[in-house]
Amino acid sequence: MPSLLEALEQKYGESSTESEGSEDEGISVAIFVPCKSPRTIVPSLLVLNDCDIATAGEKEALVAKCACVEELDLAKNKLKDWPEVFGILQQMPRLKFVNLSFNQLNTPLKNVEVDRNLQWQQLRNLVLNSTYIDWESVQQILDHLPGLEELHLSMNDYNNVNLCDDRNACRCEKNDNTPDESECFCRQANYKNKQKHGGIRKLHFTGNPVDKWKEICKLGYAFPSLESLVLADCPIESLDIEVGDDVKCNRNYERSESECESGTAKESPHDSFRTLKFLNLNSTRLSTWDDIERLSKFPALHCVRVQGCPLWESNEYTEHERRQLLIARLPNVEILNGGGVIGSDEREDAERAFIRYYMEKPESDRPERYFELVAIHGKLDPLVNIDLSPEKRVKVTFTCGSNSEVRSVDVYRTVSDLKTKLEPFAGFSATKMRLFYADQDFRDLQGPEEMKYPHKQLYSYNIRSGDEIIIDSKKKILEK
């Protein structure tokens, strides 16, 4: 497996002198390409995906080649050891973006000696998707990245969040004889007071098996300036804060000074997301409207994606109705599931549709938002249900020669069926019959219209009560 230096030389190595000649002519042609200095050979954007890179290579040569690199993409390589990763990064002091995705970097960083004073001041974006890095290593790396603004931790198989020092974690050594309800007096990590990484504003957390919102809230406490959070494909079942597990363990949580002595203050789903503006909940397991209404309480949230959830599996709503119910429940959201900003007209239409939808429901089923909107728009009258479908039966005058008769006819009957029904009245078979439709309002202007097509339904002629259908014989016409 090559080192980073060897991969660089393969991709950006110096051009060699090539000569080609014709033996018959005895002529040789030499093309000389001026050599560039190593610093200008490697671009500021360095992409070496899937090159089987496992080590850094010679330090001095890397410094000469990579000192000006600002963006580094090493995804899908064979990097496993953090000393090699730091050996690479140390030679690139100008880095702003690093992608290490799909390298197996699950070896704990705690046993690696890293200079505490080592800092990448300019690094703004770090991608660690599918590296299976443990939480303690994430925390150690963040300590060296004071300017980091965007962090990608997707598909790392996290089923919990632990970005605090684990020295206060529960260390109860339970055995098979220890009852489940036994008390635990270990001090727990206090996420509310552990706000270390205030610079991070964007976090991608897609595809991790976290299913409790209480765990997700820890991300907000760890990154108090978070503005964008992507949780797509995480099996989150609810935005409610579940405390059942904590109660069973009887753990003594530390309180902040602002909390009362009794500790009865209830944590809300948005406590740790005071600055969050964008939230992606696509393909989660949200299944109730209660969770949608919880989103309306996030103080800064204005852009939401929430598609592909069990809540939408019901066929009760059309896509348009579903969007209206979402808009009406989320007065704080300006952009919903992509697209443009929700206009004032669309919002008002959605809120009125929301009121009318719940007007037909029992009062016990009406959410709090219904009463808020009634206070704004008042009680609305139900929409008039206008049936634009044609009358099923109309009364038509049938005329055959000197005979005339008014009959009720089904407008969904075909011309062919009508001819068969008229055989007794006409006195000859349907195969010899021709029908002409005369509109009562336009017969003087355009005359009767022949009903030529046997499979055409009568309503397509816009037949109304009072119109006339004239019956004639093909034989009679031929004799004339």
Question: How confident is the model over 59-112, as pLDDT tens digits?
Answer: 888 888 888 899 999 999 999 988 889 889 988 989 999 999 999 999 888 777
* Contacts of 94 by beta carbon, 8 Å cutoff, 6+ apart: 44, 67, 68, 69, 70, 122
Q: Is 96 exposed, middle or buried (0-12, 13-18, 19+ CB in 10 A)?
A: middle
Residue 33 has a pLDDT of 53
According to the model, what pLDDT value does residue 257 have? 36
pLDDT digits (tens, 9 = 90+) for 330-350: 999 999 999 899 999 999 999
Give the mean model confidence (pLDDT) for residues 242-253.
42
pLDDT(180) > 70: no
Token digits for 456? Answer: 């055409």
Task: Please determine, for residue 248, whether its predicted confidence score (pLDDT) is greater than 60.
Answer: no
195: phi then psi, degrees, rounded to nearest 5: -95, 85
- 393-479: CATH number: 3.10.20.90
Percent pLDDT > 70 in the chain is 79
Total Cβ atoms within 10 A of residue 180: 7
User: Are the CB atoms for 323 and 336 separated by under 8 Å?
Assistant: yes
Output the six-digit token pair for 333. Answer: 């959201």
- Cα separation, 118 vs 144, in Å, equals 6
Q: Which CATH architecture is the domain 1-148 placed in?
A: Alpha-Beta Horseshoe (3.80)
> Mean pLDDT in the chain?
83
Mean pLDDT of all residues in 179-193? 51
Q: Give the mean pLDDT of 51-60.
A: 90
**In which band, very low, low, confident or very high, does the pLDDT at 247 lie, cut at 50, 70 and 90?**
very low
Q: What is the DSSP letter of 159?
A: S
**What pLDDT shows up at residue 252?**
35
**Helices (DSSP H) in 114-207: which residue ranges?**
135-142
- Contact status, residue 303 vs residue 276, Cβ threshold 8 Å: no
Residue 414 predicted with pLDDT over 60? yes
| 408 secondary structure, DSSP code | E
Predicted confidence at residue 289, as pLDDT, reads 94
- Residue 76, Ramachandran bin (φ over 0: left; ψ between -120 and 50: alpha; else beta): left
Report d(CA 357, CA 370) in Å as an integer. 10
pTM exceeds 0.85, yes or no: no
Listed by start position, the domains of the chain span 1-148, 286-386, 393-479
Tally Cβ neighbours within 10 Å of residue 296: 15
pLDDT tens by residue, 34-45: 554 544 468 899
Q: What is the pLDDT of residue 60?
A: 86
Q: Which amino acid is at 315?
A: N
Between CA 343 and CA 352, with CA 348 as vertex, the angle to 5 degrees is 150
The residues near 285 (Cβ < 8 Å, ≥ 6 apart) are 211, 235, 236, 237, 309, 310
**DSSP of 296-358, one letter per residue?**
TT-SS--EEE--S-GGG-STTS-HHHHHHHHHHH-TT-SEESSSSPPPHHHHHHHHHHHHHHH
Question: Residue 412 CA to chain centroid, in angstroms?
Answer: 46
| Neighbouring C-beta atoms of residue 177, cutoff 10 Å | 5
